Structure 1
Amino acid sequence: MKFRRLLAACALALAATASMAQSIVMASTTSTEQSGLFGHLLPAFQRATGIAVKVVALGTGQAIDMGRRGDADLLFVHDQAAEEKFVAEGYAEQRHPVMYNDFVLVGPQQDPVQVRGKDVVAALRKVSAAHALFVSRGDKSGTHAAELRYWGLAGGTKGSGYRECGCGMGPALNIAASTGAYALADRGTWLSFRNRGGLAVLVEGDTRLFNQYGVMVVSPRRFAHVKAAEAQKFVDWIVSPAGQEAIAAYRIDGKQLFFPNAAR
């Protein structure tokens, strides 16, 4: 009897080890998570490979910090300058472009400071001059980094209505909707956001609003425990025709949220 129990315990331990070997941790952005994209992509990847992906959704800066600590096997983020620095510092061997969409400036439909148009820099100058309410994520995310670039181009002065929430894209939009504030959002989260209240897209189409996403395997040279082989299988799948088609197929209300552009 004791021998059988020992065998059963060994079998359970082996099963648990095999299960752990077939899962990876991906640090990613709240925009990819809250848009519903991963709920669409990851089951398809698991069916194709048998590998489960555990997503930790953070701002891009925080996701990259996870990679620097070796707390993730894979990064799926959207701040190209920070991603290239991550590779240059030896935390990843390569960055792979995967998909893109764009940022939009949203605000009250009545647009009290008249920002509507295609020039995000001119719009932010008007927000600043009017001291209009503006909700910033303030969380080191890719969206926050882009927003700070646009404020810099606008002269760097944000006005007394500027507020940082230190939160994800969905909560930031909730605050903007409840207070009648302006905010920068990625289009994917905006399209999936249902609590818009009186908000509308006011600025879009500026080429500076382009929003590129990339994926990187955390280097096993830095962290021996990283599941680099399994993580690489995700990279290979997401840049393959199957993965790229899965990205293109994800829609909300018939609208495509992300556009595949892996270099092949």
Structure 2
Amino acid sequence: MNFKRLLSTSLIAFLLLFLAACGNTDSNKTKEAEKATAATEEQVEVTDLILATTTSTQDSGLLDELIPMFEENFPYKVKTVAVGTGQALEMGVNGEADVLLTHAPASEQELVDNGDVQNYKRVMYNDFIIVGPKADPAGVKGLAINEAFQKLFDSSAVFASRGDDSGTHKKELEIWKSINVTPTENASYLETGQGMGNTLQVAAEKQGYVLTDRATYLAQKANYPDMDIAIEGDDALLNIYHVMEVDPAKNEQINNDGAKAFVEFIVDEDTQNFIEEFGKEEYGESLFYKYTE
């Protein structure tokens, strides 16, 4: 009798110890899982990435689509600084940005040659166009670009220039220079010192002409019902965009890992296909075209 009671007591004690051990094991597993989760969260800590770019990539709406796509797949929060290309490139030279997306190939090449930037890659292209009043008071519609600029100058037509050392401004000055004309000698030549969207608005208000990238114009065309494309399709109006990493040796604050991730993201085939399709449904044509070898 005593033996049976002893055996029962022993079994109960064993069961209690077993259950306690299981409880400790589950508790340890929970703690280990919590530690693993914390370690994982620490590994994917989001850091800032400064992108210096031209206003056309923002005014067209393209960055509004691309940035969330990038941030969804990479642990970086993009801080976009949309300025003229000249200013964006200067930020690169000064180490004030991590990655650049611009459209002034000749000026960009100077940074490449000087070692200010690296991993320089072509991203996309579209073209510049001349937009003016539908009535075309200067009579330039359909002319070759050089002939049109000469006629705009000779007729003292209102011309709105960005005047901000942007890629668009650089292209405009390049055309004036090619016909040996100083545009400021035209009293109706207006320098806004502003981005593409605002300069388009000034041209519309003054019933003047303006050189703009096609993407910005198409994205904002509905705002300017009295304006129309006067000149397009000239080989001299090709508009090419490049992306590049700022040299990380400039300072310790440069996020080179993030810059490299952004460059690889924007030239990735899926992103390139998205760029090519961007705007087609809404505007009836692509705002940008992907770069293919």
CA–CA distance in structure 1, aligned partners of residues 91 and 142 of structure 2: 38
State whether residues 45 and 75 of structure 2, in contact with CA within 8 Å, keep that contact through their aligned partners in structure 1: no
- 1:41 paired residue number: 66
Deviation at 1:85, TM superposition (A): 0.4
- State yes or no: 1:256 paired with 2:281: no
Pairing 1:1-264 to 2, within 5 Å after superposition: 18-19=45-46, 21=47, 23-158=48-183, 159-193=186-220, 194-251=222-279, 252-261=282-291, 263=293
* Aligned sequence identity (%): 39
CA–CA distance in structure 2, aligned partners of residues 123 and 216 of structure 1: 34
State whether residues 97 and 262 of structure 1, in contact with CA within 8 Å, keep that contact through their aligned partners in structure 2: no
SS of 1:255's equivalent? coil
State whether residues 113 and 126 of structure 1, in contact with CA within 8 Å, keep that contact through their aligned partners in structure 2: yes
Deviation at 1:156, TM superposition (A): 1.7
Deviation at 1:243, TM superposition (A): 1.4
Q: Which shows bigger deviation, 43-52 or 69-78?
A: 43-52
SS of 1:122's equivalent? helix
Q: Which has the larger radius of gyration?
A: 2
- 1:3 paired residue number: none
SS of 1:143's equivalent? helix
Deviation at 1:214, TM superposition (A): 0.2
Q: One-letter code of the match for 2:152?
A: V
State whether residues 178 and 197 of structure 1, in contact with CA within 8 Å, keep that contact through their aligned partners in structure 2: no
* TM-score (normalised: structure 1): 0.90
- 2:17 paired residue number: none
Q: Which shows bigger deviation, 221-230 or 103-112?
A: 221-230
Q: CA RMSD in A?
A: 1.7
CA–CA distance in structure 1, aligned partners of residues 95 and 116 of structure 2: 9
Q: Which ranges of structure 1 fall in alignment gaps of 5 or more residues?
A: 1-10
CA–CA distance in structure 2, aligned partners of residues 53 and 109 of structure 1: 40
State whether residues 85 and 103 of structure 2, in contact with CA within 8 Å, keep that contact through their aligned partners in structure 1: yes
Question: For the structure 1 residues 262 and 28, does the alpha-carbon distance in structure 2 shift closer, same or farther, using more than 3 Å as the test?
Answer: farther
SS of 1:167's equivalent? coil
Deviation at 1:177, TM superposition (A): 0.5
CA–CA distance in structure 1, aligned partners of residues 122 and 257 of structure 2: 19
Structure (1 or 2) with the greater helix fraction: 2
CA–CA distance in structure 2, aligned partners of residues 54 and 246 of structure 1: 22
Deviation at 1:118, TM superposition (A): 4.7
